[in-house]
Amino acid sequence: MTLFALGLVLVSGFLHAVWNLLAKRASGDASGPAFVWLYSALSTAIFAPLAAGVVVFGGERVGAVGLLFVVGTGILHIGYFLSLQKGYGVGDLSVVYPLARGTGPLLASGAAILLLGERAGPVAVAGIILIVAGVFLLAWEPGGGRRSQGERRLGVTFGLLTGTFIAAYTLWDKYAVGELLLSPVLYYWGSLLVQTVALLPVALRRRGEIRAAWRARRAETLGVAVLSPIAYLLVLTALVFAPVSRVAPAREIGILFGTLLGGGLLAERGLGRRLLSSSCMVLGIVALAVG
């Protein structure tokens, strides 16, 4: 991976952790579908001038096949955002976020090795073991914690489900921008539009809920609407220059940021154990990236 691609990915990891903190704070003020529609619609509007500039001044187009990929990534991102918000509604940020970000690159790198012919040496295998160990350590809650057993299980379940969606859209998007050479800006803006349109029926049924969430969590909603697209656009740009088995692991330095934010700003318990498990994941991810 080039230093340029690595820099993009590291900045993306930090921004990703920040917007997830904001999403966690807002998770109790609106249901997942309503909140996802709200910030998807805002993102679509905010980044529309940038997408228009790419079309007008850059001459970029999507085409029929590209449109299929835009719709596909939009659907995958809906699944990702909904499972993430559901996880935040029942679990802690310092559990759900590392689980999602740890299993995502594990599955993405494994699929890239099996399906795309990318190689894995002994160091990469060791990385996989470290990530799995980190996942199990994070899912283990000694003493029960402050949440019920059902809530902890749901938090873990939705964290893992979110990671599955991350792996799926990472591989899907790598092909779109790396092989089809679609513009990352136009491609991702199209996915935002797909999310907004697909969730519009939900938004119409929950207008009052959306208005209340906007009044109560305006700053958090705007933060997610701006930072989430920027973070992922940096990843899409990096995927143009680097293989997915390097980009997917490297971006997960955000795991440490997310764990620290959850323990420090949200006062979540078990920070030491969660930080240890997150560190295991990060070391495993680094091993995946270099091995």
Position 181, amino acid: L
Q: How far is CA 275 from CA 84, 146, 156, 171, 259, in A?
A: 20, 18, 16, 28, 6
Q: What is the pLDDT of residue 42?
A: 96
Q: Which two tokens stand for residue 31?
A: 């249901």
Q: Which two tokens stand for residue 52?
A: 């228009």
Residue 82 buriedness (CB in 10 A; 0-12 / 13-18 / 19+) = buried
Q: What is the pLDDT of residue 98?
A: 73
Which SS3 state, helix, strand or coil, does residue 44 take? helix
pTM: 0.78
pLDDT in tens, the chain (291 residues): 567 877 888 788 788 888 878 887 776 666 678 888 999 999 999 999 999 999 999 888 888 999 999 999 999 999 998 898 888 887 777 678 777 777 776 777 677 767 766 666 788 778 777 776 776 676 565 554 555 666 777 888 888 899 899 889 988 998 998 889 899 999 999 999 999 999 999 899 988 888 888 888 889 899 999 999 999 899 888 888 777 766 766 666 666 665 665 555 555 566 676 677 777 777 776 776 676
- Structural domains counted in the chain: 1
For residue 249, give the nearest of 45, 12, 56, 4 by alpha carbon: 12
Q: Which two tokens stand for residue 165?
A: 């969606």
Position 165, amino acid: F
Position 287, amino acid: A
Angle between helices 3-26 and 254-264 (to 10 degrees): 30
Q: What is the pLDDT of residue 14?
A: 82
Whole domain around residue 118: which residue ranges? Answer: 3-290
3-state helix vs strand vs coil in the chain, percent to 5: 85, 0, 15
